[in-house]
Amino acid sequence: MPHEWLRHADGAPEQSGAFCFAEGDPPAARLRVWPHRSLTAEGFVWFVGLTAAALALPLLAVLGSPVLWGLLPFAALTVAGVWWAIRSNAGDATALSEELTLWRDRIELVRAERRGRVRDWSADPHWVRVELRETGGPVEKYLTLKGGGREVELGAFLSPEERVALRRELIEALAEVR
C-alpha cells in the first residue's frame, strides 16, 4: 500500500489532557500517503524502447527509399510524445502526496498537489471523525475526516481496499492519542 506511518514513542506523553505538548514537541504519529506508481524507471525504458522498435519495424520495408524520410518524422514524433506523456504523468504523480500529522492536541493534514499548490486542514483530534462512504462519494469507499468545521478527503487516489485498511489504521492512531 502506498502509505507509510512514522510513530514516535516519545511523542505521546503519559499524562492525559489537551494541550500537554509544548511547542516544537514531536508528533505522536505521522502518515504519508502517495499515489501508486506502477511503472518503474526500468519499465519506462523498456516501454519506450519497445514502442520505438515497434514503430521502426514497418519502416524497414521502405529503407533506402524517399518514403522513409516522409514517415520517419511521424515515428519520431510518436516516440517523443509517448516519452513526454509518461514523464509528465510520473512528474504529476510524484508531486501529489498527503501528510497527516497527529499530536495529542492537534491533527493536521497537508496535501501537496501538482504545480506546487498546497492545501491544509487542522482540528482537535478528540472531535475528529473518520468516515468511509460506501457510495455517494466521488470514488468508491470515499474516506473523509470531519472536524474543525470542515470535511476533508484522504487518499482519494488509493484503491477502495487501501482506503478501508487506512480507515482502520487511522481509527487506531486517533484512539492512541485521545
Interval 76-114: pLDDT, tens:
999 999 999 998 877 766 778 899 999 989 999 999 987
CA distance 53 to 79: 10
* Domain limit, last residue, from 74, 93, 112: 93
**171 neighbors 128 (Cβ within 8 angstroms):** no
Q: What is the pLDDT of residue 19?
A: 44
Residue 5 has pLDDT above 60, yes or no: yes
Full residue range of the structural domain in which residue 73 is found = 41-93
User: The C-alpha cell of 130 is what?
Assistant: 473518520
Exposure on the CB side of residue 140, measured as CA atoms within 13 A: 4
Mean per-residue pLDDT of the chain: 86
CA distance 132 to 158: 13
Residue 17 has pLDDT above 50, yes or no: no
Q: What is the pLDDT of residue 172?
A: 92
Report the number of distinct structural domains present in the chain: 2
Residue 171 and residue 107 share a domain: yes
Residue 171 and residue 104 share a domain: yes
User: 106: domain CATH number?
Assistant: 2.30.29
Residue 80 and residue 100 share a domain: no
Percent of the chain residues topping a pLDDT of 90:
58
Residue with the bigger pLDDT between 23 and 92: it is 92
Q: At what angle do helices 41-59 and 66-95 cross, to 10 degrees?
A: 160
Residue 163 and residue 110 share a domain: yes
User: The C-alpha cell of 139 is what?
Assistant: 470514488
Residue 74 and residue 31 share a domain: no
